[in-house]
A and B are shown apart, each in its own frame.
Chain A
């Protein structure tokens, strides 16, 4: 049987990808950000799973206004890095796990979550920056990745409660797959940031840290937080944090082991938050 061994939560700021790709990781601005991920890289090297189920949002890359799936699961064999307007990131093509992805899609859809199935798409910084942060700059990514895209761009976006319950359905799906795979689930995006309008640059350190505390200790309570609170307190793009609840919902009901916790302001416009939780 497949098992979910751990979950990883991280911001996915595009400038972090650019800093890596352009060799700026030791610059004084970026050094503290990457230093915060050094323990994570070590942990990941020692705990590389067979598959990462990677929850992220597409930023007007694979999905334009022509098609806006609320939840989309990648069941294809591979996903190239996207050209988001600056040229594609020089990172490896992502290798999928079509069998596990199709199994999860079947199980979760039969559990009443209507997923969109995607066999071909380019993946943007939302997916590739987290991989870079934990895996560094390898020739090939060290494991398979199932991309899971959530619409947090055009409202209405899914509620925290819906995301948390979806995570639970994903857990059930993974645990009923009949191959002995180790699976990690990653929730990405956030933390507080606003990229638009006169209020751009909003950061809420206190709120972010309370979010991290509750994600660890009271995820079910946290899942009842309405959208408006994310937007008001953590900025319009802070809404991405609902995706962390999918990963958290996929974890065991027992309290997790906190492997690593990191928080830093700023990376470009954004507060960087990061957690690694292991199932006990």
Chain B
């Protein structure tokens, strides 16, 4: 029986469930390796070579190289793991979050200061905005 996924109707949201975790195992474990300073240095020195040490899919590697976090999540990445890439780049969590919304960092920061993204119109896919 397939996993019950009641969360599939929430817009702009990917729940990190067992299917996603299986797909993203090596992508996330690569991210985990960036918690060691020497690995961060090696990754920064030659990203492609470092990625090639991991049995990730080519799509996953391209998504990492492009810092396309939405694509990384689609391919099984989880944000707490992917945050290690941002940390390696010296980016804040807010920078990373903004990068997934189609807003500039300034626009995103302003939205947060004004109380954040409203749940109105953002609860169900296809809900009237």
Contacts and interface: CB of A to CB of B under 8 A. Distances in A.
Interface of A: 14-15, 59-61, 64-66, 82-87, 153-156, 192, 194-205, 207, 227-228, 231-233, 236-237, 265-266, 268-269, 271
Contacts of B70: 197-198
B56 interface: no
Interface string B46-90: 000000000000000000000001100100001111011011100
B31 A60 contact: yes
Given A15-B93, A202-B119, A266 B113 contact: yes
Contacts of B118: 202-203
Contact of A65 (B28, B69, B98, B101): B28
B39 to A, nearest CB: 10
A265 B31 CA distance: 30
Contacts of A200: 12, 97-98, 100-101, 108, 117
Contacts of B124: 232
Given A60-B80, A84-B35, 12 more contacts: A65-B32, A65-B81, A87-B37, A154-B78, A196-B97, A197-B12, A200-B117, A207-B119, A232-B123, A237-B79, A265-B115, A266-B116
Contacts of A15: 92-94
A202 B18 contact: no
Contacts of B100: 196-198, 200
Contacts of B73: 196-197
Contacts of A156: 17-18
Given A60-B80, A200-B101, A65 B25 contact: yes
A60 B32 contact: yes
A197 B13 contact: yes
A199 B97 contact: no
Interface of A (DSSP majority class): loop
Contacts of A192: 116
B43 to A, nearest CB: 11
A227 B4 CA distance: 13
15 contacts: A15-B92, A65-B32, A66-B29, A84-B84, A85-B40, A85-B86, A154-B17, A195-B79, A203-B115, A203-B116, A204-B119, A232-B7, A236-B15, A266-B115, A268-B112
A84 B17 contact: no
B116 A196 contact: no
A200 B11 CA distance: 10
Given A60-B32, A153-B78, A207-B119, A85 B87 contact: yes
Given A14-B93, A65-B29, A197 B37 contact: no
A197 B87 contact: no
Contacts of A271: 116
Contacts of A207: 119
Contact of B94 (A61, A202, A269): A269
Nearest to B77: A196
A211 B37 CA distance: 40
